[in-house]
Amino acid sequence: MITLKRNAVALMVSAVLVSTAVQAQVGAPEKEELKLGFIKLTDMAPLAVAYEKGYFEDEGLYVTLEAQANWKVLLDRVITGELDGAHMLAGQPLGATAGVGTKADVVTAFSMDLNGNATTVSNKIWEAMKANVPAGADGKPVHPIKADALKPVVQSYKDQGKAFNMGMVFPVSTHNYELRYWLAAGGLNPGFYAPLKGDNTGQQQADVLLSVTPPPQMPATLEAGTILGYSVGEPWNQAAVFKGIGVPVVTDAEIWHNNPEKVFGVAQSWAEKYPNTHVHLVKALIRAAYWLDQDNNANRQEAVNLLAKPEYVGADAKVIANSMTGTFEFEKGDKRPAADFNIFFRHHATYPYYSDAIWYLTQMRRWGQIPEAKPDSWYADLAKKVYKPEVYRQAAEELIAEGKMKVSDFPDFAKETGYKSPDNKFIDGITYDGHKPNDYLKQFPIGLKGDQKL
Amino acid sequence: MSALLNIKWQNMAFPFVGLLAFLFFWQIAASQVTTTLGSLPGPVATAQQFMGLVDEHEAEQDKKTAFYQRQEQRNADKLKADPDFKVTVRPYTGRPTFFDQITTSLITVATGFLVASLIAIPMGIILGLNQWMYQALNPVIQILKPISPLAWLPLVTMVVSAVYSSDNPLVAKSFINSAFTVTLCSLWPTLLNTTVGVANIDPDLKNVSRVLKLDPLTHVRKIVLPSAIPMIFTGLRLSLGVAWMVLIAAEMLAQNPGLGKFVWDEFQNGSAQSLARIMVAVVTIGIIGFMLDRGMLQLQKWFSWDKRSELR
């Protein structure tokens, strides 16, 4: 009898909780005029769409979008408060919070996309690589192309005493880790960072020297011969193809299928000061991401035309369309279907998974940016500090209550742990389990693990 | 009479021939240079792109109107739901067009140049009058003078960020950064020319002042200023030229709003139209620089005591 009563009470309490959760409306935004930064890349699309489709205004927000010169300027401006938030590399909030490069608390409640990058090499390097790439029945090179094909080319450079330089966009960028992952999977050492010795070039013991170049300058730098290849987001790989100066050899979806890419980052102090504004922003961005993938990418051509405007990406529409509308052009004329080249909403792309955050942290540890061993709990705690699924959930529930989205569009929040199940869709077939970052690191032949230090 | 006509005709014809030759050379030369974005735009392509920018500006104005209408509607709805709602009108959030960027640049350069002049002219008069002060400060001035705006900018940015912090700033930080950099770089020609102009006043005039026992302020007003004016204006014109050049560089480097940012954004866009749009900006920068100088000359004619001297 007593237990029955207690159960009833529990039921009533939970019923009240559930109903308040649905009814609890997010209050008006504390700050209505916002300035958000972005880099000229196609994956800034959710911001442009939320602006042009009026999703920001629907949330009572007056947003100004402003292109930034490079990732460093963008991050600094978010930290100093000149920008309210920005399109960011997933590694930026994590790196800043962990103290890699900059030390500042930056958080994210919205993941902007999956995939979307590629690695391009100059025509000359491609000619040399091509000899090592098997051809399929149609005479075209078999994909994915592994860095094994690049290894002899790098060796010939080494034998001549010449450096093999490649570009990536920022020390904690997805591109840096992708390029390193690809190179290391092919037996090439991309070099280590040694911050304890004050060396932040990331070129210790390196076979291939990686350095920072802002995304829009990649083709020009490749053309100038300063770098022989680069890893960057779109449209800067397709731009190399159109200009006839380089050949994309591998996409990030081939290195790690459906890898998390950019996030929408804000300063932690900003998020604490303007909690409602934050939820409203995420609401608008969720709707924009949904629109981008809606009805099997039906809106992509419209998105391309939007992005081609000079105030957003500004590149020619046909260049942007190449990757945004389900194809990707490798060697000139070798256009292949790539339906998943850039995912904005499918597969819960916008949900901030802790396991995604932890993957980035493992790569920071692997290449020495985190110079000393950390227990698994440290990885989990830092991910929790930076990734804010609770804000995302609030935004999603609001959208469901308003009838703008369906429950089925989102993960099952009641059961969601924030950890994706172990995944082995990597180019080297190694399995990643977000619960065991240290065990994950042990599997790599090249890279720091355990107590290793430089 | 016919001689007068002749002069007028020549005044018109030679600049016209010069410009035409330049445009011809530009057209020929541009088509020879092929970049990865196509060949360099000639005058025709540039003019077409200018018209495109005008169209974009007009389209943006329509968007602006629609933005305010939507906002009005939204505010009205809120007011209906809650009579105590305090209506605030938010400024348009769209992007600045080419012409907006020109306005921004002009306001910035005017501010920076005005501040520079307000510092440089009084200081130049003091240095010109006082030999000891001049000797003490000259080395510092000579060292500060050749510093490039691009070297100042990071420092200015950091200092402004540290000193000028408020949640609701009256003017944007980027504006202060640009204007302050312009001031720092455009100060020197006016300062040095004023100093030299003041120091080299005709000794007879100085003697007159001494005989009449003019008090220092009257001495400056009646004797120093009139005779130093040509040199001061030479300095101001040089300063304004420097200010305009510095501003564009500062805007490009720091991504501060203005024509410089327009150029940099287009460079980063790398579309088929980008080069022509940059060319429009380059020509515009030149024409505005020219007009600023002419404006200054007009000002000098108006200020100058000696209306007979030829100014060019």
- Residue A54 sits in a domain whose CATH number is 3.40.190.10
Residue B257 CA: distances (Å) to CA of A62, A389, B174, B219, B252: 19, 35, 7, 44, 9
B207-241: b (≥16 Cβ within 10 Å) or e: eebeeeeeeeeebbeebbbebbbbbbbbbbbbbbb
Q: Which CATH number fits domain B108-304: 1.20.1250.20, 1.10.3720.10, 1.10.10.10, 3.30.559.10?
A: 1.10.3720.10
* pLDDT tens per residue across span B154-205: 888 888 877 877 666 677 888 888 899 999 999 999 999 999 998 888 888 8
Q: What is the band of B35 on the pLDDT scale with cuts at 50, 70, 90?
A: confident
What is the C-alpha separation between B162 and B141, in angstroms, rounded? 26
Residue B161 has its nearest CB partner, among A54, A80, A315, at: A80
Contacts (Cβ under 8 Å, ≥6 apart) of B212: none
Does pLDDT of A23 surpass 60? no
A83 and A196 part of one domain: no
Closest CA to A185 of A446, A438, A365, A361: A446
Terminal CA-to-CA distance of chain B, rounded, Å? 25
pLDDT at residue number A9? 52
> Closest approach of chain A CAs to the CA of B92, in angstroms?
8
Judge whether B64 is closer than 8 Å to chain A, CB to CB. no
Residue of B nearest to A311 (CA): B95
A401 and A266 part of one domain: yes
> Closest approach of chain A CAs to the CA of B170, in angstroms?
14
Q: What is the band of A20 on the pLDDT scale with cuts at 50, 70, 90?
A: very low
What is the C-alpha separation between B117 and B234, in angstroms, rounded? 12
Give domain status of residue A165, yes or no: yes
A132 and A105 part of one domain: no
Helix axes B131-144, B98-129, angle to 10 degrees: 150
Judge whether B57 is closer than 8 Å to chain A, CB to CB. no
A250 and A385 part of one domain: no
What average pLDDT does this structure show over B211-224?
Answer: 86
What average pLDDT does this structure show over A419-429?
Answer: 93
Judge whether A233 is closer than 8 Å to chain B, CB to CB. no
pLDDT at residue number B312? 58
Q: Which residue has the higher pLDDT, A227 or B9?
A: A227
Contacts of B269 in chain A (CB under 8 A): 40, 216, 310, 313-315
What is the C-alpha separation between B89 and B70, in angstroms, rounded? 11
What average pLDDT does this structure show over A419-448?
Answer: 94
Judge whether B168 is closer than 8 Å to chain A, CB to CB. no
Give domain status of residue A195, yes or no: yes
Domain ranges of chain B: 108-304
**A219/B269 Cβ within 8 A:** no
A268 and A252 part of one domain: no
What does the block give as tokens for A249? 């050899």
What is the C-alpha separation between A41 and B229, in angstroms, rounded? 53
Asked if residue B111 lies in contact with residue B181, where contact means CB atoms within 8 angstroms, the answer is no
**B274/A314 Cβ within 8 A:** yes
Kind plus residue range of the DSSP H or E element containing A310? none
> Closest approach of chain A CAs to the CA of B111, in angstroms?
22
Does pLDDT of A289 surpass 60? yes
Does pLDDT of B311 surpass 70? no
Residue B85 CA: distances (Å) to CA of A56, A97, A110, A236, B268: 20, 39, 31, 47, 43
Asked if residue A86 lies in contact with residue A264, where contact means CB atoms within 8 angstroms, the answer is yes
* pLDDT tens per residue across span B102-159: 999 999 999 999 999 999 999 999 999 888 989 898 899 889 888 887 788 888 888 8
Contacts of B64 in chain A (CB under 8 A): none
Q: What is the band of A22 on the pLDDT scale with cuts at 50, 70, 90?
A: very low
Q: Which of A334-338, A346-350, B260-264 has the highest mean pLDDT?
A: A346-350
A157 and A200 part of one domain: yes
* pLDDT tens per residue across span A378-415: 999 999 999 999 999 999 999 999 999 999 999 999 99
Q: What is the band of A1 on the pLDDT scale with cuts at 50, 70, 90?
A: very low
A246 and A110 part of one domain: no
Judge whether B70 is closer than 8 Å to chain A, CB to CB. yes
Residue of B nearest to A243 (CA): B36
Residue B271 has its nearest CB partner, among A65, A217, A316, at: A316
Residue A315 has its nearest CB partner, among B95, B264, B271, at: B271
What average pLDDT does this structure show over B258-279?
Answer: 86
Cβ neighbours, 10 Å, residue A131: 9
pLDDT at residue number A17? 46
What does the block give as tokens for B33? 């240079």
Closest CA to A278 of A109, A141, A403: A109
Asked if residue A392 lies in contact with residue A110, where contact means CB atoms within 8 angstroms, the answer is yes
Judge whether B100 is closer than 8 Å to chain A, CB to CB. no
* pLDDT tens per residue across span B48-85: 999 999 998 999 999 999 999 988 888 888 888 888 87
What is the C-alpha separation between B300 and B311, in angstroms, rounded? 9
| Most A CBs within 10 Å, among B64, B78, B271, to test the A interface | B271
Domain extent at residue A247: 117-259+438-442
Structurally, chain A folds into a number of domains equal to 2
Judge whether A73 is closer than 8 Å to chain B, CB to CB. yes
Least confident of A13-22, A142-151, B164-173, B229-238: A13-22
Q: Reduced to 3 states, what is the DSSP secondary structure of residue B67?
A: helix
Q: What is the band of A18 on the pLDDT scale with cuts at 50, 70, 90?
A: very low
Strand bridging mode A262-267 / A85-89: antiparallel
What is the C-alpha separation between A356 and A90, in angstroms, rounded? 9
Residue of B nearest to A216 (CA): B268
Judge whether B270 is closer than 8 Å to chain A, CB to CB. yes
Terminal CA-to-CA distance of chain A, rounded, Å? 66
Give domain status of residue A422, yes or no: no
Q: Reduced to 3 states, what is the DSSP secondary structure of residue A316?
A: coil
Q: Which residue type, as a one-letter code, is found at position A385?
A: K
Give domain status of residue A426, yes or no: no
What is the C-alpha separation between B83 and A269, in angstroms, rounded? 33
Asked if residue B223 lies in contact with residue B156, where contact means CB atoms within 8 angstroms, the answer is no
Q: Reduced to 3 states, what is the DSSP secondary structure of residue A246?
A: strand
**Total-model pTM:** 0.82
> Closest approach of chain B CAs to the CA of A59, in angstroms?
11
Q: What is the band of A284 on the pLDDT scale with cuts at 50, 70, 90?
A: very high
A280-313: b (≥16 Cβ within 10 Å) or e: bbbbbbbbbbbbbbeeebebbeebbebbbebbbb
A250 and A319 part of one domain: no
Residue B270 has its nearest CB partner, among A33, A64, A219, at: A219
Contacts of A51 in chain B (CB under 8 A): 93
Residue of A nearest to B269 (CA): A314
> Closest approach of chain A CAs to the CA of B268, in angstroms?
5
What is the C-alpha separation between B240 and B111, in angstroms, rounded? 11
Does pLDDT of A305 surpass 60? yes
Judge whether B266 is closer than 8 Å to chain A, CB to CB. yes
Residue B255 has its nearest CB partner, among A54, A73, A80, at: A73
A108 and A124 part of one domain: no
A171 and A57 part of one domain: no
**B270/A216 Cβ within 8 A:** yes
For every residue of A1-16, DSSP letters joined together read -HHHHHHHHHHHHHHH
A229 and A265 part of one domain: no
